[in-house]
Chain A
């Protein structure tokens, strides 16, 4: 059996849609450690919802049988059902310690400079360090990712960046505090192919360090993943009244 980082056992998420309580049920899934897992599916099938639940950005609706197992290390297991019942500070700790995020709309803070945006997760994770360390870290990361042109623009507000520059800044921000899992939500939606390739290549390199990437993507970017050993999970929706059941198809279609 391969090394898992997440094991999902049939989870549910309920939400209000025009005064109707809808329930979406996700099937059991597995996400392997140190690999890129790409989640695909039609629009509105719940890809981002699943990503948010896994990244502890949102909570699932627990029933007796539902569970998400998170294995930060091979010997350690965290149950999401227990986690969500505990104090929120524990969720914050796990997000801070293990997870990195790259959002669909980069979500950079425009009133700050690029530098300030990038070092934000580091500041939050290591509040007792001096300021030199994260800056050194960013420079090292820029070299590693071959984003050398970024050094010139990081002093400015992200509102002056191009789409590609914004996504690369968001990528640096996701990697700066050495997370174990990076959640990436449709990062290539609004950037040119060349930049998308560049970003994916960085994420792919991270897998060599054992970093797991869970990514939401669309079919049009399949070509990016073809040369890698990324896992593919395709979500298929079946809706009956207010109940939506998702089935999952593993592997390349």
Chain B
């Protein structure tokens, strides 16, 4: 085709200068767009020679811009709907009600009876399971700080969720885990398993940009997000201290320590609606000081009788309690010989879960309330050596000087090389001292405490802590305010969503907002409707464009009849004349296409708008094709007439 065109249409001259036909083509097109003025005045020249060109430009511009924007919105909506379709935060029924997980788990036994066409809480023969998964959660408003450590006046809603553990774990590998993992903008491992309470946060793109004031802000592994402590009020403090700029003034180092908490930014989650950030439930409890987490696990604990010796029923009762609270496999069987003693040792097995901390054992021990006064709980851990401990300072960070003092103290009292290398600078008020195997002294709790008094004498206001292991969250009995219910995507269930909402609302006294319910069937119907509308609009647009191009070029070429007649009289080939006007028509559409493309690409009209290169290419090709068809049909209609007829048409 190209060779044919080169040979027949755009030939080069023997002396390599541009061929005359090329010049001719250029001349015709140039003069059609910018004709010689002659003796016409400005107004006549504009109306007779320019208006049709500018008019065509304007109409085509509006035409193409509408098309580009329509395609952008269509694609944006499709993307949005698809993202919503895959979004576990929206593909749910949201219940607003105080309820605990145990109660909610009852819903997992809900079936739809195909015969009676009703929902039942029994596993019936013909039933379809209704609920796939249940997520109870909270929302917590937090006040964040930007990167200049200035507080935002407004609060941001943080979703507090029980995040499933790692993949392949029993609870892991589910909708929420997959969604969060797949949609993190930065590829970093998501939340720790749910029993851990790590200070980690995931931000929404908008909050991320708000905090870092830059869309392209580079993410690194050590980014921290600061927010106000839930229990402290910086504004009141600033008013009390007479600080005028209550909001505008960035927080001082001291204020940061005293009034804020921080969390490690582990990622930005693209496209999730409704919330500004996600934190784990364990971290939320940690922040809100509700103490529903446990500390370092213990290997055993002791129950004592104040007076007398244990009887057999006593031992059986305690054993029953221990099995219930910690699981049968977690406790070594209690030796019946303890009935001769006033102290029972409850020994955890190696299979015991992480909920064997002092705090948790104490809280469970309170359940033996009817025996209160008779039984006493004891932890006799003093004799155990410690692998590490913590040194804390209030409201001050450790300096280089402090670190060297601690090092020489440890070398002196526990032997050289007894502790692992300390960091060169520590930007917090807490320091971890970890023993190596070279520690010569006994690293038991009392020994460390005794030797720590020497360090206190050197350094002043410092404190010692043995129990700062990352706490584990234990929340089986907690009450949640919101619940996300994932329903079975079986068409029968999807068609009975309204009935299901009615059932849950009535049965559980829950509040369900109709407008919060967006189900898959709704999405699919939405997409289907959009597709139909798209095809209708596209078909209408194609017909309209074809008619417009045909009419425009036919009218335009009518004014060129005289000129075409002269070309033909001089022996101009019909094919070349058609080619000239095809080129001219392509030139006429190219500028509106370029401008509309730039406008639609660089000035998107809304958030839902998204450019799709496939649609765009298709659209441009359609325009070019229709234009070529329009120009060829119009030009052929004229060039097939004999020259004497054409030449008589004088403009």
Partners in one complex: yes
Picked from A92, A111, A113, A157, the residue with its CB within 8 Å of the CB of B571 is: A92
Picked from B11, B17, B23, B39, the residue with its CB within 8 Å of the CB of A159 is: B39
Contacts of A190 in B (CB 8 A): none
Is B566 in contact with A120, judged by CB distance below 8 angstroms? yes
Instruction: Using A109-B563, A124-B570, A124-B572 as known contacts, say yes or no to A134 and B36 having CB atoms under 8 A apart.
Output: no
- Docked CA distance A92–B571 (Å): 5
Is B72 at the interface (CB under 8 A from chain A)?
no
Is B598 at the interface (CB under 8 A from chain A)?
no
Residue interface bits A148-160, CB-to-B below 8 A is 1, else 0: 0000000011111
Is B336 at the interface (CB under 8 A from chain A)?
no
Instruction: Using A127-B21, A131-B23 as known contacts, say yes or no to A107 and B647 having CB atoms under 8 A apart.
Output: yes
Contacts of B15 in A (CB 8 A): 130
Report which residue of B17, B24, B569 has the largest number of chain A beta carbons within 10 angstroms of its beta carbon.
B569
Contacts of B562 in A (CB 8 A): 107, 109
Is B19 in contact with A128, judged by CB distance below 8 angstroms? yes
- Docked CA distance A159–B36 (Å): 9
Report which residue of A93, A132, A159 has the largest number of chain B beta carbons within 10 angstroms of its beta carbon.
A159
* CB-based nearest B residue for A132: B17
Contacts of A107 in B (CB 8 A): 562, 565-566, 569, 647
Picked from B38, B49, B569, the residue with its CB within 8 Å of the CB of A160 is: B38
Distance in Å: Cβ of A176 to nearest Cβ of chain B: 10
- Docked CA distance A12–B571 (Å): 24
Is A126 at the interface (CB under 8 A from chain B)?
yes
Residue interface bits B28-43, CB-to-A below 8 A is 1, else 0: 0001100111111000
* CB-based nearest B residue for A157: B36
* CB-based nearest A residue for B16: A130
Instruction: Using A92-B574, A124-B570 as known contacts, say yes or no to A105 and B36 having CB atoms under 8 A apart.
Output: no
Is A52 in contact with B644, judged by CB distance below 8 angstroms? yes
Is A58 in contact with B642, judged by CB distance below 8 angstroms? yes
Residue interface bits A74-101, CB-to-B below 8 A is 1, else 0: 0000000000000011001111110101
Interface residues of A in 89-143 (CB under 8 A from B): 89, 92-97, 99, 101, 103, 105, 107, 109-113, 116, 120-132, 134
Is A224 at the interface (CB under 8 A from chain B)?
no
Is B647 in contact with A103, judged by CB distance below 8 angstroms? yes
- Docked CA distance A92–B565 (Å): 12
Is B570 in contact with A120, judged by CB distance below 8 angstroms? yes
- Docked CA distance A89–B13 (Å): 22
- Docked CA distance A93–B572 (Å): 8
Is B574 in contact with A89, judged by CB distance below 8 angstroms? yes
Contacts of B574 in A (CB 8 A): 88-89, 92
Instruction: Using A111-B31, A116-B27, A122-B20 as known contacts, say yes or no to A57 and B569 having CB atoms under 8 A apart.
Output: yes
Is B642 in contact with A130, judged by CB distance below 8 angstroms? no
Picked from A109, A129, A130, A157, the residue with its CB within 8 Å of the CB of B37 is: A157
Contacts of B39 in A (CB 8 A): 159-160
Distance in Å: Cβ of B581 to nearest Cβ of chain A: 15
Is B13 in contact with A130, judged by CB distance below 8 angstroms? yes
Is A245 at the interface (CB under 8 A from chain B)?
no
Instruction: Using A52-B644, A97-B571 as known contacts, say yes or no to A112 and B20 having CB atoms under 8 A apart.
Output: no
Picked from B12, B21, B49, B573, the residue with its CB within 8 Å of the CB of A123 is: B21
- Docked CA distance A34–B575 (Å): 33
- Docked CA distance A97–B572 (Å): 11
Is A59 in contact with B571, judged by CB distance below 8 angstroms? no
* CB-based nearest B residue for A116: B27
Contacts of B571 in A (CB 8 A): 92-97, 99, 121, 124-125
Picked from B14, B38, B567, the residue with its CB within 8 Å of the CB of A157 is: B38
- Docked CA distance A57–B568 (Å): 9
Is A124 in contact with B567, judged by CB distance below 8 angstroms? yes
Is B650 at the interface (CB under 8 A from chain A)?
yes
Residue interface bits A27-54, CB-to-B below 8 A is 1, else 0: 0000000000000000000000000100
- Report the number of A-B residue pairs with Cβ-Cβ less than 8 Å: 116
Is B21 in contact with A110, judged by CB distance below 8 angstroms? no
Is B24 in contact with A110, judged by CB distance below 8 angstroms? no
- Docked CA distance A95–B645 (Å): 16
Distance in Å: Cβ of A52 to nearest Cβ of chain B: 5
- Docked CA distance A109–B38 (Å): 11
Instruction: Using A123-B21, A134-B20 as known contacts, say yes or no to A113 and B11 having CB atoms under 8 A apart.
Output: no
Is A129 in contact with B20, judged by CB distance below 8 angstroms? yes
- Docked CA distance A103–B568 (Å): 14
Is A131 in contact with B17, judged by CB distance below 8 angstroms? yes
Contacts of B640 in A (CB 8 A): 88
Is A128 in contact with B11, judged by CB distance below 8 angstroms? yes
Interface residues of B in 146-193 (CB under 8 A from A): none
* CB-based nearest A residue for B574: A88
Is A123 in contact with B31, judged by CB distance below 8 angstroms? no
- Docked CA distance A121–B570 (Å): 5
- Docked CA distance A88–B571 (Å): 10
Residue interface bits B125-151, CB-to-A below 8 A is 1, else 0: 000000000000000000000000000
Distance in Å: Cβ of B579 to nearest Cβ of chain A: 12
Is B643 at the interface (CB under 8 A from chain A)?
yes
- Docked CA distance A156–B643 (Å): 26
* CB-based nearest B residue for A105: B650
Is A58 in contact with B567, judged by CB distance below 8 angstroms? no
- Docked CA distance A160–B37 (Å): 10
Distance in Å: Cβ of B284 to nearest Cβ of chain A: 77
Distance in Å: Cβ of B48 to nearest Cβ of chain A: 10
Contacts of A58 in B (CB 8 A): 642, 644-645
- Docked CA distance A88–B30 (Å): 28
Residue interface bits B530-572, CB-to-A below 8 A is 1, else 0: 0000000000000000000000000000000011011111111
Instruction: Using A58-B644, A95-B571 as known contacts, say yes or no to A123 and B35 having CB atoms under 8 A apart.
Output: no
Distance in Å: Cβ of A124 to nearest Cβ of chain B: 5
Is A110 in contact with B36, judged by CB distance below 8 angstroms? yes
Residue interface bits A210-252, CB-to-B below 8 A is 1, else 0: 0000000000000000000000000000000000000000000
Contacts of B37 in A (CB 8 A): 157
* CB-based nearest A residue for B49: A111
Contacts of B644 in A (CB 8 A): 52, 57-58
* CB-based nearest A residue for B639: A88
- Docked CA distance A166–B32 (Å): 21
Is B38 in contact with A112, judged by CB distance below 8 angstroms? no
- Docked CA distance A58–B641 (Å): 9
Instruction: Using A111-B36, A124-B567, A159-B39 as known contacts, say yes or no to A89 and B20 having CB atoms under 8 A apart.
Output: no
Contacts of B49 in A (CB 8 A): 111
Is A57 in contact with B566, judged by CB distance below 8 angstroms? no
- Docked CA distance A74–B11 (Å): 33
Is A59 in contact with B642, judged by CB distance below 8 angstroms? yes
* CB-based nearest B residue for A49: B644
* CB-based nearest A residue for B38: A159
Distance in Å: Cβ of B335 to nearest Cβ of chain A: 112
- Docked CA distance A168–B15 (Å): 32
Distance in Å: Cβ of B566 to nearest Cβ of chain A: 6
Contacts of A99 in B (CB 8 A): 571
Is A92 in contact with B573, judged by CB distance below 8 angstroms? yes
Given A93-B571, A111-B32, A121-B571, output 14 extra A-B contacts at Cβ < 8 Å: A57-B643, A57-B647, A95-B570, A96-B571, A112-B27, A112-B35, A120-B24, A120-B567, A124-B571, A124-B572, A126-B20, A128-B14, A128-B19, A130-B17
A-B contact pairs, 9 of them (CB 8 A): A57-B569, A59-B642, A96-B570, A123-B23, A124-B572, A128-B12, A130-B13, A130-B17, A159-B38
Which 9 residue pairs spanning A and B have beta carbons closest together? A96-B571, A159-B38, A111-B35, A157-B36, A127-B21, A95-B571, A130-B17, A157-B38, A57-B644
